[in-house]
Chain A
Amino acid sequence: AQSVTQLDSQVPVFEEAPVELRCNYSSSVSVYLFWYVQYPNQGLQLLLKYLSGSTLVESINGFEAEFNKSQTSFHLRKPSVHISDTAEYFCAVSYNQGGKLIFGQGTELSVKP
């Protein structure tokens, strides 16, 4: 069975510092990987996804994630965070594109001035 583990429930960081949000998954078959962001009292927005091809994927707002098959990881990174990046971040996996998503527990990123 698939499962997703986000190792850090909360990550406090100062503005302009780098950040890494960790995500590990377990699956016996190939999966698709996603990172979603949720701002307070809002739904989820897709940040980036890995479907195939290059293992490094990037978002338009400076986040990137690298698919590491041997370590079954899909960590999210940003070299310099902003106050506006404060939100909850969810890692998710799916067997197929657009199919059922299994979410990790979420990581609360708190960026302080």
Chain B
Amino acid sequence: GAVVSQHPSWVICKSGTSVKIECRSLDFQATTMFWYRQFPKQSLMLMATSNEGSKATYEQGVEKDKFLINHASLTLSTLTVTSAHPEDSSFYICSARVQGTSGSEQYFGPGTRLTVT
């Protein structure tokens, strides 16, 4: 099946610094990837839709200047949390859309746990 990886799996950074998270589709090309965040014991909330070669589409309430998304190739999307603060600490999960014979489907990465101190 389709495999999506994320790097790093966890990261600790100091308040005010920036952190980049990578999402890769390992055995398929994905024109569309999605970024979610999940707070402890809560559901996933879609942050943005990342489209290869174009600007990301952000959900209402998500600061596009704080959460920079770049989808430079068909196998890689990156999320950069700029000037991170403790309230940005969360579990960030990406997914990639793949087209199959029975329609398209999202495959999820293992997630990246960000802790801002």
> Which residues in A have some Cβ–Cβ distance to B below 8 Å?
36, 41-46, 49, 51, 90, 97-106
Contacts and interface: CB of A to CB of B under 8 A. Distances in A.
A51 B102 contact: yes
Contacts of B108: 36, 43-45
A104 B108 CA distance: 17
Contacts of A99: 104
Q: Please report whether the interface of chain B is mostly helix, strand, loop or mixed according to DSSP.
A: strand
A104 B43 contact: yes
B43 A97 contact: no
Nearest to B96: A98
B44 interface: yes
Contacts, number: 54
Contacts of B95: 44, 101
A102 B49 CA distance: 13
A98 B46 contact: no
A103 B44 CA distance: 6
Interface stretch (B13-21, B67-75, B82-90, B109-117): B109-117
Contacts of B4: 43
Contact of A98 (B41, B43, B44, B105): B105
A98 B42 contact: no
Contact of A41 (B32, B43, B113): B113
Nearest to B106: A98
